[in-house]
Amino acid sequence: MEILYLLIPMGVVLIAGCIAVLLWAFANGQFDQLDEIGKSMPDDGR
C-alpha cells in the first residue's frame, strides 16, 4: 500500500487547486447573480 504515500498527498494538492480555482471564480463575480442569469437571453454573438 506504499502507493498511498503518493496518492494521498496528490489528493491534498488537488483539493488545494480546486479551492484556489473556486476562490478565483468568486472573486471574479461568477456567483454574484445566481437568479438573474436564468432570466437573460442566450448571447448569439450577433
User: Shortest approach of other proteins to residue 12 CB, angstroms?
Assistant: 5
17 near other proteins, rule: CB under 8 A: no
Separation between Cα atoms, residue 32 and residue 18, nearest integer Å? 19
Torsion of CA 21, 22, 26, 32, to 10 degrees: 130
39 near other proteins, rule: CB under 8 A: yes
3 near other proteins, rule: CB under 8 A: no
Q: Which three cell numbers stand for residue 16?
A: 488545494
Report the interface residues with other proteins, using CB under 8 A: 1, 4-5, 8-9, 11-12, 15, 18-19, 22-23, 26, 29, 31-33, 35-36, 39-41
